[in-house]
Amino acid sequence: MESPMPWSDASIAEQRREFVRMASKEGANISLLCTRFGISRTTGYKWLRRGRGSEEDFSDRSRRPLHHPTRTANWIEDLVVALHEERQVWGARKIAWELEQRASLKLATSTVHAILKRHDRIGPDTRAPHRFTRFEKSSCNQMWQMDFKGYVTLTSGAVCHPLTVLDDHARFAVGLAACGEQSGETVKARLQQVFRRYGLPEAFYMDNGAPWGSGYRDRWTRFDVWLMKLGIRVIHGRPYYPQGRGKIERFHRTLKHEVFSVCPFNTLDQVQRRFDEWRTIYNMDRPHEALDMNVPASRYQPSPRTLPETLPEVEYGPDEITRKVDRTNAHITVNRRKWKLPKAFKGETVALRPRYPDGVWAVCFGATQIALIDLNANPGNNR
């Protein structure tokens, strides 16, 4: 009967060596020795065979098989490693997709992952899970998302503010700019380049931060007015609610992982050159899991709406009630009373459109409602 006490962990190799010496002697009672050393007879005879074979190492051998009949061929592993060397930040799923596209070689994602792990190409995943509510427009250019990724300090001490613009339907990066600051004029200059190449979207989805927002109550800016004059609807996300910007937040994580985590940058020009290279890879080569492993360029078509040569003014119908917003105090006069409006609309023409109940009017800039006034209430109580 085998003892419940196996080999002592502290001196397991020495105990095995001692057992072999005793069991090798003439007339040794091997069964009794096995009992006293707390091992089975099968184990005892195994070590006795090794000892009689002049083996001096009594430590445990690796249990890995000497041959791997199902292991992937070396040339395939070399191909996987070479592709990962080229696309260093891609994971197993994207590497597998690229192998099928380039070499018509179909490998399971788990196989690619195992190869990369064997070659020390995959480190521990320490990223915290990010969960965002998904929504998607039905066609290209119905809505673009825009945001500034958190600033990055360069080795020179300068600061880079990456401006990102993403088509909501195709996840196509129409714009990626390395900006030195976050002013509305800088964004306008960058967007004009994007508009000339890809046309105008129907709407922009942005948060409430500068330069496209100035707070929740008086959130409109001159930048918003510029977009609305181009016929672009401006949508501000709910404050402190990043879930609505899930696609662009995910894009920022990818940008950080595949650009800024790879190498440092000294100047904004260096960052922009890398942005231009990477944007091409992202749009044209990098498969996207949310697109069934297709690339964003496979979905995207430029907008037919072109950027006008001169900025048009908002037009209203002949029967509309209109007012000119005061250039100094941003107010309009209705029934001999002054009503304050957002400062961004100073000098602009707005329309008054009746709402329910009687006496409530919507103040609109083009098709966008920017305020409500209640003629039954005190001036200044407009919403």
Q: Are residue 250 and residue 201 in the same domain, yes or no? A: yes
Average pLDDT, the chain: 81
Is pLDDT above 80 for 118?
no
Is pLDDT above 90 for 110?
no
Q: Are residue 182 and residue 294 in the same domain, yes or no? A: yes
Q: Are residue 154 and residue 241 in the same domain, yes or no? A: yes
- Can you tell me the distance from the alpha carbon of 221 to that of 184, in angstroms, rounded to the nearest whole number? 9
Average pLDDT over residues 49-55: 70
Q: Are residue 283 and residue 208 in the same domain, yes or no? A: yes
Report if pTM > 0.75: no
Q: Are residue 259 and residue 360 in the same domain, yes or no? A: no
Q: Which domain holds residue 352?
A: 321-374
In a domain, 66, yes or no: no
CATH code of 259's domain: 3.30.420.10
- Can you tell me the distance from the alpha carbon of 163 to that of 118, in angstroms, rounded to the nearest whole number? 38
Q: Of the residues 298, 332, 357, which one is the last residue of a structural domain? A: 298
In a domain, 96, yes or no: yes
Q: Are residue 255 and residue 327 in the same domain, yes or no? A: no
In a domain, 165, yes or no: yes
Question: Tell me, what's the pLDDT at 41?
Answer: 87
In a domain, 60, yes or no: no
Quickly state the pLDDT bin for 116 (edges 50, 70, 90): confident
Quickly state the pLDDT bin for 357 (edges 50, 70, 90): confident
Q: Are residue 48 and residue 188 in the same domain, yes or no? A: no
Average pLDDT over residues 349-372: 91
Q: Are residue 346 and residue 268 in the same domain, yes or no? A: no
Is pLDDT above 50 for 126?
no
> What type of residue sits at position 383?
R
Tally of domains in the chain = 4
- Can you tell me the distance from the alpha carbon of 59 to that of 164, in angstroms, rounded to the nearest whole number? 58
Token pair of 75, please?
């040339």
Q: Are residue 293 and residue 348 in the same domain, yes or no? A: no
Is pLDDT above 90 for 216?
no
Question: Tell me, what's the pLDDT at 23?
Answer: 82
Question: Tell me, what's the pLDDT at 48?
Answer: 83
Cα separations in angstroms, 24 against 30, 44, 53: 9, 11, 12
Cα separations in angstroms, 213 against 54, 183, 235: 81, 11, 10
Top-confidence residue, 184 or 91: 184
In a domain, 126, yes or no: no
Q: Of the residues 298, 332, 358, which one is the last residue of a structural domain? A: 298
pLDDT digits (tens, 9 = 90+) for 224-270: 999 999 999 998 876 555 555 678 888 999 999 999 998 999 999 99
In a domain, 63, yes or no: no
Question: Tell me, what's the pLDDT at 49?
Answer: 83
Is pLDDT above 80 for 162?
yes
Most confident of 121-130, 283-292, 332-341: 332-341
Is pLDDT above 50 for 2?
no
In a domain, 213, yes or no: yes
In a domain, 68, yes or no: no
Quickly state the pLDDT bin for 19 (edges 50, 70, 90): confident
Do 228 and 364 meet the contact criterion of CB atoms below 8 Å apart? no
Q: Are residue 266 and residue 186 in the same domain, yes or no? A: yes
Average pLDDT over residues 315-319: 93
Q: Are residue 160 and residue 259 in the same domain, yes or no? A: yes
Cα separations in angstroms, 47 against 28, 40, 94, 172: 15, 11, 48, 65
> What type of residue sits at position 46?
K
Is pLDDT above 70 for 95?
yes
Question: Tell me, what's the pLDDT at 272?
Answer: 96
Average pLDDT over residues 308-331: 94
Question: Tell me, what's the pLDDT at 180?
Answer: 95
Q: Are residue 180 and residue 291 in the same domain, yes or no? A: yes
Most confident of 47-56, 99-108, 271-280: 271-280
